[in-house]
């Protein structure tokens, strides 16, 4: 008979406040499998791992000894250890024995290796009940166990977001006007006028006048701005 899951939200909130909890999929599927295989070897278990799409919950299913991880956010050390702690304490939900087993897994396997004293302190501050660490199923772990390897925690999707979007010709023209006060560009009806308001002493200099871009071409206007800038610098 299962006990009531009275601490679930408290545990979730506590996790989210800790530096070792990074809810991003920074591990590959192979790396996740390596973590579970290592835990299985230490605890002599045969826990399986299945990856699921969507942003729903990750969870441990006891009837088939399987951890289900969400591809979008859960491929990380803390979530794997959280779900494996459920495998070690299958009847405790998020209550005291689960919490203590989870802490021991974090201490021995997470690359950050948070100390048990710091974990206990943060649990007390969050008003979370936990059992004596010596009474947990993972109590016999040794410091000779190597933690999971340190990895880059920036995920692939996050890297893609950092790619700078290509600027339009219109954006570039307005940035050039901000940078070079002698440039003046404006639209009139369907056309764009580009002025280079500078005097290099040559009355016949075509760049001293203006240029008219037909059909509202910002690409042409951008090119004309670059030509005016070169002229002002004496490069043409």
Q: What is the pLDDT of residues 152-167, one digit of tens each?
A: 987 655 544 554 567 8
| Spatial distance between the Cα atoms of 185 and 183, rounded to a whole number of angstroms | 7
pLDDT tier, 44 (very low <50, low <70, confident <90, very high otherwise): very high
| Spatial distance between the Cα atoms of 178 and 182, rounded to a whole number of angstroms | 10
Kindly write down the DSSP assignment for every residue of the chain, as one continuous string.
-PPP-TTHHHHHHHHHTSTT---S--S-HHHHHHHHHHHHHHHT---EEEEE-SSS--EEEGGGTEEEEETTT--SHHHHHHHHHHHHSTT-TTSHHHHHHHHHHHHHHSTT---HHHHHHHHHHTT-----GGGSTTTT--TTSPPPPP-----HHHHHHTSPPPPPHHHHHHHHHHH-TTEEEEEETTEEEEEE----S-TT-GGGSEEEEGGG-HHHHHHHHHHHHHHHTT--
Looking at residue 215, what is its pLDDT? 62
217 vs 132, more confident: 132
- Is the pLDDT confidence value at 107 over 90? yes
- Is the pLDDT confidence value at 119 over 80? yes
pTM over 0.85: no
Looking at residue 163, what is its pLDDT? 46
Average pLDDT over residues 14-42: 96
- Is the pLDDT confidence value at 5 over 60? yes
- Is the pLDDT confidence value at 192 over 90? no
Average pLDDT over residues 86-100: 92
Angle, alpha carbons 118-120-125 (nearest 5°): 95
């Amino acid at each position: 008979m299962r006990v009531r899951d009275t601490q679930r939200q408290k545990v979730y909130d506590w996790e989210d406040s800790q530096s070792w909890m990074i809810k991003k999929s920074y591990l590959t599927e192979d790396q996740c499998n390596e973590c579970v295989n290592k835990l299985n070897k230490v605890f002599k278990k045969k826990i399986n791992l299945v990856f699921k799409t969507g942003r729903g919950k990750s969870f441990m299913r006891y009837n088939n000894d399987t951890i289900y991880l969400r591809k979008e956010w859960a491929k990380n050390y803390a979530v794997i250890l959280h779900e494996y702690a459920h495998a070690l304490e299958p009847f405790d939900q998020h209550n005291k024995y689960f919490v203590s087993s989870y802490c021991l897994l974090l201490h021995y396997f997470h690359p950050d290796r948070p100390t048990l004293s710091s974990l206990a302190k943060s649990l007390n501050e969050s008003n979370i009940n936990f059992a004596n660490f010596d009474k947990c199923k993972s109590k016999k772990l040794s410091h000779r166990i190597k933690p999971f390897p340190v990895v880059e925690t920036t995920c692939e999707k996050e890297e893609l977001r950092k790619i700078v979007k290509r600027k339009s010709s219109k954006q570039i023209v307005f940035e050039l006007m901000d940078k070079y006060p002698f440039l003046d560009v404006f639209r009139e009806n369907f056309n764009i006028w580009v002025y280079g308001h500078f005097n290099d002493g040559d009355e016949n200099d075509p760049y001293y006048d203006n240029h008219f871009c037909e059909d509202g071409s910002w690409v042409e206007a951008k090119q004309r701005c670059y030509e005016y800038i070169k002229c002002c610098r004496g490069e043409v």
